[in-house]
Structure 1
Amino acid sequence: MNTVLMVDDNMTNLVLVRQLVRRVEDCETLAFTDPASALETLRETDVDLILVDYVMPEIDGVEFVRRIRRMSRHATVPVVMVTTTDEREVVLQALEAGATDFLTKPLDPLEFKVRVRNLLALRKAQKQLAARAALLDREVSIKTSELVEREQEIIWRLTKATERRDTDTGDHIARMSRICGILAEGMGLSVEDRRLVEIAAQMHDVGKVGIPDEILFKPGALSPEERKVMETHTDLGWTILEGSKSRLLQMAAEIAVSHHERWDGTGYPKGLAGEAIPVVGRITALADVFDALMSVRPYKPAWPIEKAIAFVADGSGSHFDPACVEAFFAHFDEIAAIAGTGRDDDVISAA
């Protein structure tokens, strides 16, 4: 059933129009002599066609159409302006306001019926197209969600492999990635990029799967030669992850190869400096270092929080991107709460 709303301050004209509408199949009517009351109804009610008189007190037909078009639910509903004139100025004003068609009084019953039928057919086609678009959006959303889940599973499984080849814990990876998400927000990255960096950062050390055990698990300090081998994990990570069409894996590859670069250009593997370092690499560098400092390792105790904070502050402009450090301190309460979950109770109380 189609719903046709009519507005005319003249009751005689309104009754006439209502009778003409009722001659059209499958139509029900809503009739108003007060345009303000009609607008109130339209804020809560969906209709298929609106017929409005041009000459009305306080709110004329053109202004009525303008107000309708400001309502998102009626942005595409056909609107017919009923006038006693076909003056060009009136027609242009109504078109600019959003009118779809015009009828001139006195109304011709046959013309009226044909116009109304055509406009209702147009509305039906609009609704069918919108329904198809909504269905397509849902299907795309489902497929996208499935793709994201598969990508997340890949990340998770590769991360599990990394955990078996690293002295760091899975808890560190989880905390560090959450800190990355907070820093990404503070750096002004989009919601989607914040989500991606939080997932992709979990892969930052995937290249360590290619580091020999005698170097990776060495309890003491590494020799210069061993350090060079250890540093190849960034390029190995890039080799493992690069070339994917997935934006998530592309970002993971960027992070893997750049998270040991330093703002002043003294990092590795490429010695990049400043904004030449991908922003996701800069974010991961700070998150990784801070949580590592705050965590217990076989070769060191957790640092007191004051010492870790001082390290970050001192590293601004040398080790770390100053904007990233600024975001770190702007969101420090959230970050400290996350990093604190990796510390022993004795260390926390001592801090």
Structure 2
Amino acid sequence: MAKEWINLVKKELTPEDLLRIIFDYTAKIASERKLNAVLVHMADMGREMILSDRCTVWLIDEPNHQLYTTVAHGVDEIRIPFGTGLVGSAVLSGEPIIIEDAYNDPRHNDENDRKTGYHTKSIITVPFRNNDGEIIGAYQAINKLTAVGYFTARDLELLSLAASYAGKSLESVMLHQEIIDTQREIISTMGEVGEIRSKETGNHVKRVAEYSYVLAIGLGLSASQAELLRTASPMHDIGKVAIPDAVLNKPGKLTEEEYDIIKSHTKIGHQLLRGSKRELLRTASIVAEQHHEKWDGNGYPAGRKGEDIHIFGRITAVADVFDALSAERVYKAAWPIEKIENLFREERGRHFDPAVVDVFFEQLPKLLDIRQRLTDEAE
């Protein structure tokens, strides 16, 4: 976020300063794909353009009939009923509002002032619209920091300019986020379908996803890479959808031929997903193919060894085996944690990447918390 502001009287911006702020923040917003980051840039841009003490970006939560903000300088998330307060009035009317003294306006809600000890004086609120002209939120700036002490028509012009650009950019990011969320939902659901056919539970893939994220962060992967793995890992056994029930759920020991059929789920999963241009599905194809490979080269389907196995495959292997051993099933009891720990020590450098096993032990308390939170009994 931009530098911390302090409550000192500031000089009005020169045209050169204003252009610098506009070009700086429009470039940041245009290159950003994360919703929260765009909202932060929007709030900072509005605050700097009109020299306010604080700036809030409000969005509409239609299902809950609320207005909310996750980005507000100086406070945490705020939610208010739709249509209430100055921001609600601006959103309902579609018109901006400028108030010199908030406490002389009955629409002002002073609840947050009472909670925080902050004193709101001048307010400017400007709705912003999407490409179809529909209002999707509003800027609200508080307390002008120049000598005049209140917002002017010039401030309204500048904040309206920011709102016009930012609103349309925000819609693009929100649509992108909606696509990503839809992909995640589909992947998670498909992963659950694969597990249900093999008498597993939907919570198995959820736990594997969360375990994988914790292990990835512990290994030093970036937050974005860890999140990518968390989203893709539920598809690790998607290839099981093509395995006959008679083989997949056979109660007794498998023949060599039947075991080969079971092992083919790794190739099938890879083939199902590998042709996608989406990074998420390409990642899922890697996990599906490589999560049964072993560090010493004795895994399947390709007998990859060591770092020839993708790091996502090595992480998912640990997460998957940990869950398989620690979860109770109709055909087996859950292993006690001491027995699981012994297995990972024995298989360190054989089945599993030593580095991943080391992180497994470091992060075991977090993994156990996840197991408790996503227990099958809660389904």
CA 1:188–1:224 in structure 2 vs 1: closer, same or farther (change >3 Å)?
same
> Which region of structure 1 is more displaced relative to structure 2, 220-229 or 251-260?
220-229
Asked if 1:221 corresponds to 2:253, the answer is yes
1:294–1:342 Cα contact (<8 Å) kept: no
Counterpart selection for 2:353 from 308, 321, 328: 321
1:234–1:256 Cα contact (<8 Å) kept: yes
Q: Identity of aligned pairs, percent?
A: 39
1:175 aligned partner: 207
2:266–2:288 Cα contact (<8 Å) kept: yes
1:260 aligned partner: 292
Q: Report the Cα distance in structure 1 between the residues aligned to 2:231 and 2:326, rounded to whole angstroms.
A: 21
1:296–1:342 Cα contact (<8 Å) kept: no
2:191–2:236 Cα contact (<8 Å) kept: no
For structure 2, the 5+ residue unaligned runs are: 1-5, 17-43, 51-154
Q: Report the Cα distance in structure 2 between the residues aligned to 1:41 and 1:333, rounded to whole angstroms.
A: 51
> Which region of structure 1 is more displaced relative to structure 2, 168-177 or 234-243?
168-177
SS at match of 1:243: coil
2:82 aligned partner: none
Report Cα offsets for 1:199-219 as digits up to 9, x if no partner.
Answer: 211111000011111110111
Q: Report the Cα distance in structure 2 between the residues aligned to 1:171 and 1:226, rounded to whole angstroms.
A: 27
Instruction: Provide the aligned length of Structure 1 versus Structure 2.
Output: 240
1:339 is displaced (CA, Å) by 2.6
1:200–1:251 Cα contact (<8 Å) kept: yes
| One-letter code aligned to 2:13 | D
2:309 aligned partner: 277
Counterpart selection for 1:48 from 3, 13, 18: 13
Asked if 1:184 corresponds to 2:216, the answer is yes
Report Cα offsets for 1:112-162 as digits up to 9, x if no partner.
Answer: xxxxxxxxxxx9999888656533541232011111122022213312421
1:63 aligned partner: none
CA 1:136–1:264 in structure 2 vs 1: closer, same or farther (change >3 Å)?
farther
Q: Report the Cα distance in structure 1 between the residues aligned to 2:210 and 2:163, rounded to whole angstroms.
A: 38
Asked if 1:302 corresponds to 2:334, the answer is yes
TM-score normalised over the length of structure 1: 0.61
1:39 is displaced (CA, Å) by 10
1:40 is displaced (CA, Å) by 4.0
Report Cα offsets for 1:185-204 as digits up to 9, x if no partner.
Answer: 11122222222211211111
1:156 aligned partner: 188
Q: Report the Cα distance in structure 2 between the residues aligned to 1:180 and 1:207, rounded to whole angstroms.
A: 19
Q: How do residues 131-142 of structure 1 correspond to structure 2 at under 5 angstroms?
A: 134-142=166-174
> Which region of structure 1 is more displaced relative to structure 2, 155-164 or 301-310?
155-164
Q: How do residues 195-234 of structure 1 correspond to structure 2 at under 5 angstroms?
A: 195-234=227-266
Asked if 1:293 corresponds to 2:258, the answer is no
CA 1:160–1:291 in structure 2 vs 1: closer, same or farther (change >3 Å)?
closer
Q: Report the Cα distance in structure 2 between the residues aligned to 1:182 and 1:128, rounded to whole angstroms.
A: 43
| One-letter code aligned to 2:358 | E
SS at match of 1:41: coil
Asked if 1:336 corresponds to 2:336, the answer is no
| One-letter code aligned to 2:266 | T
| One-letter code aligned to 2:172 | V
Q: Report the Cα distance in structure 2 between the residues aligned to 1:149 and 1:39, rounded to whole angstroms.
A: 40
CA 1:137–1:183 in structure 2 vs 1: closer, same or farther (change >3 Å)?
farther
SS at match of 2:197: coil
TM-score normalised over the length of structure 2: 0.57
1:299 is displaced (CA, Å) by 2.6
Report Cα offsets for 1:15-47 as digits up to 9, x if no partner.
Answer: xxxxxxxxxxxxxxxxxxxxxxx99433xxx73
Q: Report the Cα distance in structure 1 between the residues aligned to 2:249 and 2:47, rounded to whole angstroms.
A: 67
1:244 aligned partner: 276
Q: Report the Cα distance in structure 1 between the residues aligned to 2:347 and 2:322, rounded to whole angstroms.
A: 11
1:244 is displaced (CA, Å) by 1.1
Q: Report the Cα distance in structure 2 between the residues aligned to 1:231 and 1:191, rounded to whole angstroms.
A: 32
Report Cα offsets for 1:226-245 as digits up to 9, x if no partner.
Answer: 11110000000011111112
2:192–2:201 Cα contact (<8 Å) kept: no
2:192–2:234 Cα contact (<8 Å) kept: no
Q: Report the Cα distance in structure 2 between the residues aligned to 1:325 and 1:130, rounded to whole angstroms.
A: 50
Higher-Rg structure is 1
2:176 aligned partner: 144
Q: Report the Cα distance in structure 2 between the residues aligned to 1:72 and 1:343, rounded to whole angstroms.
A: 47
CA 1:160–1:336 in structure 2 vs 1: closer, same or farther (change >3 Å)?
closer
Q: Report the Cα distance in structure 1 between the residues aligned to 2:172 and 2:314, rounded to whole angstroms.
A: 33
1:58 aligned partner: none
CA 1:248–1:343 in structure 2 vs 1: closer, same or farther (change >3 Å)?
closer
Answer 1 or 2: which has greater helix percent: 1
2:196–2:202 Cα contact (<8 Å) kept: no
Q: Report the Cα distance in structure 2 between the residues aligned to 1:153 and 1:74, rounded to whole angstroms.
A: 36
For structure 1, the 5+ residue unaligned runs are: 1-37, 52-70, 78-122, 345-351
Q: Report the Cα distance in structure 1 between the residues aligned to 2:272 and 2:342, rounded to whole angstroms.
A: 35
> Which region of structure 1 is more displaced relative to structure 2, 311-320 or 209-218?
311-320
Asked if 1:166 corresponds to 2:198, the answer is yes
